[in-house]
């Protein structure tokens, strides 16, 4: 069976909202408009306006409200129409969400997901094209995920919502409409992927390419067109792990490209 990344995101949100009444979705145009990129299509009808909340265009305000709700024990999913707009709210993502568990010595945990499209789209100018992966990945307290295929997107968004820590979930607009084959196992509502493990997309012994999000697709194409024996790695949790992955890989691949 095939599934688009958009369907993967929608079904993951739907299943997690159905499984846990503490999960709710908030952001600009997520409700009546059905999502600026139709990720939340049908969710307002199914879960009602108490759990699918259209916000005004005030990122600092609604992100702060989302983080406050997570302090209390709810599990908000905050959608940014693009991660470029998260710059209006980056104070709440870093100072309010990422640091609270640490400063309170574990009293105030923040189970929240910030998600939306990140990085380059097609011809939208610099203010809508920035990739914030390295910004967020360098902040202790945040977990940063940037999946590529539908199966990974589904499994990791479900993991992100269930995770007790703040997660920044970076999608890519150009991938939303792309279809990928998905296994029967991945279609089950209990499907979930572990956070913090890299996935080897293709095994090989000459060189290792590490990539995340849309670049994984380009890297896979390179492998095929050059007929090299490549070991293509996808590192999905970007913080901390990079070094460990590369050290492990070094054992059997002499050249490393990051």
Partner 1 sequence: MARMRRMEIAADSLYKAKLIRGFCHLYDGQEAVAVGMEAAITKKDAIITAYRDHCIFLGRGGTLLEVFAELMGRQAGCSRGKGGSMHFYKKDSGFYGGHGIVGAQVPLGCGLAFAQKYSKDEAVTFALYGDGAANQGQLFEALNIAALWDLPAILVCENNHYGMGTAEWRAAKSPAYYKRGDYVPGLKVDGMDAFAVKQACKFAKEHALKNGPIILEMDTYRYHGHSMSDPGSTYRTRDEISGVRQERDPIERIRKLILAHDIATEKELKDTEKEIRKEVDEAIAKAKESPMPDPPELFSNIYVKDSGLEVYGPDRKEVRLTLP
Instruction: Please select the residue that binds partner 1; options are 36, 195, 230, 245, rule is CB under 8 A.
Output: 195
57 and 48 Cβ atoms separated by less than 8 Å: no
Burial (CB count <10 Å: 0-12, 13-18, 19+), residue 95: middle
188 and 211 Cβ atoms separated by less than 8 Å: no
Choices 9-17, 36-44, 135-143, 180-188; region in contact with partner 1 by CB under 8 A? 135-143
Residue (18 or 229) nearer to partner 1, CB: 18
Instruction: Please select the residue that binds partner 1; options are 9, 67, 193, 219, rule is CB under 8 A.
Output: 67
Q: Which of 26, 23, 18 is nearest to 66 (CA)?
A: 26
Show the tokens assigned to 66.
């989302």
Pairing mode, if any, of strands 75-79 and 52-54?
Answer: unpaired
Site membership for partner 1, residue 92 (CB under 8 A): yes
Q: Which residues pair with 255 in a beta bridge?
A: 207
Site membership for partner 1, residue 247 (CB under 8 A): no
Based on the residue annotation, tell me whether 59 is a catalytic residue of this protein: yes
Looking at residues 151 to 170 of the shown chain, list those that interact with partner 1 (rule: CB under 8 A).
163-165
Show the tokens assigned to 153.
């997107």
Residue (42 or 196) nearer to partner 1, CB: 196
Distance CA 54, CA 34 (A): 10
Q: Which of 237, 232, 236 is nearest to 257 (CA)?
A: 232
Site membership for partner 1, residue 8 (CB under 8 A): no
Site membership for partner 1, residue 24 (CB under 8 A): yes
Instruction: Please select the residue that binds partner 1; options are 104, 183, 229, 248, rule is CB under 8 A.
Output: 104
Residue (46 or 197) nearer to partner 1, CB: 197
Cα 203 from chain centroid (whole Å): 25
Residue count of the chain: 258
Based on the residue annotation, tell me whether 128 is a catalytic residue of this protein: yes
Q: How many CB atoms lie within 10 A of CB 14?
A: 17
Annotated catalytic residue within 7, 15, 28, 59: 59
Number of residues that bind partner 1 (CB under 8 A): 48
Site membership for partner 1, residue 246 (CB under 8 A): no
Min dist CB 22 to partner 1, Å, is: 8
Give the interface with partner 1 as residue ranges (CB under 8 A).
24, 50, 53, 55-56, 58, 60-74, 91-92, 95-96, 100-109, 140-141, 143, 163-165, 195-197, 237, 240-241, 244
Catalytic residues: 59, 128
């Amino acid at each position: 069976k095939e599934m688009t990344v958009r369907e993967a995101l929608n079904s993951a949100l739907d299943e997690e909202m159905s499984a846990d009444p503490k999960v709710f979705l908030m952001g600009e145009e997520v409700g009546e408009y059905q999502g600026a990129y139709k990720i939340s299509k049908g969710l307002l009808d199914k879960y009602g306006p108490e759990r699918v909340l259209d916000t005004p265009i005030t990122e600092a305000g609604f992100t702060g409200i989302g983080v406050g709700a997570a302090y209390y024990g709810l599990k908000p999913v905050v959608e940014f129409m693009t991660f470029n707009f998260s710059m209006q709210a980056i104070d709440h993502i870093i100072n309010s969400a990422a640091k609270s568990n640490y400063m309170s010595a574990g009293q105030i945990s923040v189970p929240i997901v910030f998600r939306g499209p990140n990085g380059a789209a097609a011809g939208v100018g610099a203010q809508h094209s920035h990739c914030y992966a390295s910004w967020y990945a360098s902040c202790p307290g945040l977990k940063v995920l940037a999946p590529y295929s539908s199966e990974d997107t589904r499994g990791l968004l479900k993991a992100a919502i269930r995770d007790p820590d703040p997660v920044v979930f970076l999608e890519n607009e150009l991938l939303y409409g792309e279809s990928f084959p998905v296994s029967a196992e991945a279609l089950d509502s209990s499907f979930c992927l572990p956070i913090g493990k890299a996935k080897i997309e293709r095994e090989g012994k000459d060189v290792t390419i590490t990539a995340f999000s849309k670049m994984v697709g380009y890297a896979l194409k390179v492998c095929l067109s050059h007929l090299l024996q490549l070991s293509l790695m996808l590192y999905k949790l970007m913080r901390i792990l990079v070094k460990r992955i590369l050290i492990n890989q070094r054992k059997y691949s002499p050249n490393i490209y990051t």
